[in-house]
Structure 1
Amino acid sequence: MKLDGSCHCGAVRFSLASAHPYPFNYCFCSICRKTQGGGGFAINLGGDAASLKIEGEENISVYQAKLEGDEVSPARRHFCKHCGSALWVHDPRWPELIHPFASAIDTELPAAPERTFLMVGSKKAWVPLEAGPQDKVFDDYPEESIADWHRRLGLES
């Protein structure tokens, strides 16, 4: 599926191909919560890095999150330097992947038949967790990848 996305102010537009376009993975870690907001969670999709096309690349800044101690995450969070919109994450450990934030995607996304709530151990008390009977909840990261979730449910495009 082709995904088109943009920042809020329109300075950055991008597109990429995604075999994993269902927004199902709700992350409650402090990095997602503090860099993106969105109700205390962020939703990442899976995309093909080789297909990424960007207009307004000069308007993008990158943030690498601080981890425990002085360690810096290798993951690079791309955002608009004008309006602050979170756009995507790229991690050099998986160079073939781009993880766009569902909040930056303008293409109508399909509804997920079940959701995964991860890093719930980092969730703040003010954030409601409304898991349905089919949903899965994890204090940390689940073993199942975005690609594996789509494969298990027969949702790869």
Structure 2
Amino acid sequence: MLLEGSCHCQAVTFRVKSPHPYPFNRCYCSICRKTAGGGGYAINLSADSKTLSCIGEEHITIYRARIKGEQSTAERHFCKHCATSLWVYDPDWPELIHPFASAIDTPLPSPPQNVHMMLGSRADWVEIDARFQDKCFDEYPDESLAEWHQRLGLER
């Protein structure tokens, strides 16, 4: 599925192809919560990094979080004007890019279930809206974004 996204001020627009476009994986870690805002979590999609095309790259800056005192290899791309979180890229997995669902302008399919991850890091004020079919994890889930899509037959 072709995903088109942008920042709030429209300085940055991008396109990327994703076989995994369902916004199901809600991450409550302090990095996602503090850098992406929202309901106390962020939702990352998965896409093919080779298909990324971007207009306005000069308006993008990168943040690399510190985890347990070490700088992460993951690069969080965001607009330096309006601070919209755009995507995460990690050179440890160069074939992947993880756009934030919140930056996608293309209508996304509704997921049949959600995965709530990193609940051990959630803020006390965050209420988890987990439904019967949802899965919850204190840390990382037991399957990847691709495996979740494959298990449910949702690849595009």
TM-score normalised per structure 1: 0.98
Structure 2 match to 1:79: 78
- State the Cα distance separating 1:143 from its structure 2 match: 2.3
Deviations 1:84-117 (Å, cap 9, x if unpaired)?
0000000011100000000000000000000000
Kindly state the Cα deviation for residue 39 of structure 1 after the two structures are TM-superposed: 1.3
- For residues 143 and 134 of structure 1, the distance between their equivalents in structure 2, rounded to whole angstroms, comes to 15
- Counterpart in 1 of 2:153? 154
Question: Does 1:56 pair with 2:61?
Answer: no
Q: Which residue of 2 aligns with 1:5?
A: 5
Distance of 2:142 and 2:53 partners within structure 1: 30
For the aligned residues, what is the CA RMSD?
Answer: 0.5
The 2-side partners of 1:148 and 1:114 are apart by: 14
Distance 1:28 1:87 in 2: 17
Kindly report which structure 2 residues correspond to 1:105-124, keeping only aligned pairs within 5 A, or say none: 105-124=104-123
CA distance in 1, matches of 2:134, 2:141: 13
* C-alpha distance in structure 1 between counterparts of 2:68 and 2:124, whole Å: 22
Q: How many residues align?
A: 156
The one-letter amino acid paired with 2:5 is: G
What SS does structure 2 have at the residue aligned with 1:33? helix
Moved over 3 A (4+): none
Distance in 2, Cα, partners of 1:154 & 1:50: 24
In structure 1, how many angstroms separate the alpha carbons of the residues matched to 2:62 and 2:122?
A: 24
Q: 2:40: which partner in 1?
A: 40
Q: Whole-Å Cα distance in 1 between the matches of residues 39 and 134 of structure 2?
A: 18
In the alignment, structure 1 segments of 5+ residues that lack a partner are: none
| Structure 2 counterpart of 1:107, one-letter code | T
For residues 38-79 of structure 1, give each alpha carbon's deviation from its aligned partner in whole angstroms, at most 9, with x where no partner exists. Answer: 11100000001000000000000000001112x000000000
Q: Percent identity?
A: 62
Give distance in 1, aligned partners of 2:124 and 2:76.
26
